[in-house]
Amino acid sequence: MLVNAVLKGFLRPVLAGAGLFALAMPLAYAEDLMAIYQAAQANDPKFRSAQQQVRVTGQQARQQRSGYLPQINVELQVIDTDQTVVSSDNQVFQQGSASYGTDDLSLTLSQAVFRWDRIEAWKQSRVQEDQAEARALQAGQDLQLRVAEAYFGALAARDAVILSKAELASSTRQFEDADARYRRGLARRTDQLDAQARMAQVEAELMAKQNAWEDALEALRELTGSTPENLKPVARELQLAAPDPLPVDSWVKAAADGNIELQIQRMTVDIADREVERQRAGHYPTLDLRFKHNERTTDGSLFGGGSETESDEITLALNLPIYSGGSVWAKRKEAASRYEQSKDELERTRREVERQTRAAYQGILSSIRRARALEQAVKAQELAVETKRRGFQAGLYTSMTVLDAEEDLYADRYQFALARYDYLNNWIKLRRATGQLKQGDLAALNSQLVTLEEEARVDVPLSTPAEQAQAQAPEAAPVATPAQSPGKAPAR
């Protein structure tokens, strides 16, 4: 399919670059996207419930077909009879009694010759089986989307914690500097108090972000049944490419043709249409063919000895319903209303899928624009922080001016990383909306995750260039931002 080829072409430039912000984490084993997905396949209750529902639907379809298949029954009766003559017109047997046993064996074969309701039920069952297969595919796509959103959401929460810790360290240094300058008489009391208040505020925000990080890990545990200790981050550089073809209408058309939810709803309309015909059949005659073979052995009788008999019966039964209290008419009207309801649901689903497709498409473009703008904002804000810190040392700026600039810097860094996570999530959503999302898509994204050892060598710059140059410890060595990586193209 052209759209599928286009999507694959769209994926290559996405994965040609490297990932997002690097995170300083302990060098321990970390789980990747595919490991989380495979664990979710085995343990996610929602996915497993969907699989069971698919099996239920398949069995219900087989039950529908059974109504037009032959029905065979064998019945064995063992009868013990006690008889006493009370009165009789037979002059020979005016009185007497007898006790004897009877064995009765019957084989009955029945076949519906004409039952329109069962014919329609048979047709419904074939659509229901196709629908069950589509629901299985939908459950797999939904799981991939939920895993991707939970995984990248956890990475975003971890980014927030790390950047908040860096901001806390920076605000602490600013407070210590303001406090020392105040004690030497070089700064006002308000500068010291402003710095102290900002440090406490950042510490409180860090606690909230740590709670959000723990909740993000719980979201992964909800999917997999276990909490991952660490997660592999996305590689530092990520080339952001717009969807190709660019016109959104191409994607909307692809979604109208390939979206799994839309296909399921179309099948629901078909099933409801056939249900109307099935209920209308309540007015139609029925014709059944029955064959019965009977063997009866009697040990005795009131009027003499026992007997053995065999009989075969062939019955062609025609039934013409005349009036059933209005239930047939009511069921037909109910089925007709459900059919109209299913058509309305189809239209609602079509509009919803179109909206989701446009939202994912625009989300990709918006993420690209946001990332480019935030990349420039981070560069400018780093220079602004450095300049204002020097101005503070010279007495040109207050402590609050520096703290506000640092807050803006860390906020821009976080939004810069978040724009890339949004880009990846919207890419997955666009694939799902067009019905093209496959397990290989997650595997392709997973190949862009890096180990924590690799990521530790390209840690996020948690201080300004001037602070990095002054630092003596190896872990405080200067590290480039994603847009400044040596030998690497800027993230686009």
> pLDDT, tens digit, for every residue of 84-124?
777 666 655 656 677 888 999 999 999 999 999 988 988 99
**CATH number, position 85:** 2.20.200
One-letter amino acid at 353 equals V
Mean pLDDT of 292-304: 82
Q: Same domain for 293 and 262?
A: no
Q: Same domain for 350 and 471?
A: yes
What are the structure tokens assigned to 317, written together?
């039964």
The string of DSSP letters for 87-120 reads --S-SS-SS-EEEEEEEEEEEEEEEEEE-HHHHH
Measured CA to CA in angstroms, residue 181 lies from 67, 169, 245, 466 at distances of 91, 18, 60, 20
Q: Same domain for 58 and 82?
A: no
Model confidence, pTM: 0.76
| Residue 229 in this model has a pLDDT that exceeds 60 | yes
**CATH number, position 176:** 1.20.1600.10
Q: Same domain for 310 and 225?
A: no
Residue 490 included in any domain: no
Q: Same domain for 50 and 136?
A: yes
Q: Same domain for 306 and 368?
A: no
Residue 492 included in any domain: no
Whether the bond into 245 is cis, omega within 30 of 0? yes
Final residue before a domain boundary, out of 271, 298, 319: 319
Q: What percent of the chain has pLDDT over 90?
A: 51
| Residue 24 in this model has a pLDDT that exceeds 90 | no
Going by pLDDT thresholds of 50, 70 and 90, the confidence category of residue 300 is: confident
Q: Same domain for 274 and 293?
A: no
Residue 125 included in any domain: yes
Q: Same domain for 148 and 245?
A: yes
Domain count, the chain: 2
Whole-angstrom distance, CA of residue 65 vs CA of residue 25: 59
Q: Same domain for 47 and 81?
A: no
Going by pLDDT thresholds of 50, 70 and 90, the confidence category of residue 480 is: very low
Strands of 230-342, DSSP E: 286-301, 304-319
Measured CA to CA in angstroms, residue 393 lies from 230, 323, 439 at distances of 40, 98, 56
Mean pLDDT of 386-391: 89
Going by pLDDT thresholds of 50, 70 and 90, the confidence category of residue 183 is: confident
Considering the chain, what is the average pLDDT of its residues?
A: 82
Residue 489 included in any domain: no
Residue 491 included in any domain: no
Q: Same domain for 271 and 366?
A: yes
Q: Same domain for 140 and 210?
A: yes
Mean pLDDT of 462-474: 40
Q: Same domain for 79 and 157?
A: no
**Would you state the pLDDT for residue 91?**
58
Residue 209 included in any domain: yes
Which range marks the domain in which residue 247 is found? 2-66+117-282+327-484
**Would you state the pLDDT for residue 304?**
67
Give the lowest-confidence range in 23-37, 130-144, 208-222, 471-485. Answer: 471-485
Q: Which backbone phi and psi does 201 adopt, to 5 degrees? A: -65, -45
**Would you state the pLDDT for residue 489?**
34
Going by pLDDT thresholds of 50, 70 and 90, the confidence category of residue 302 is: low
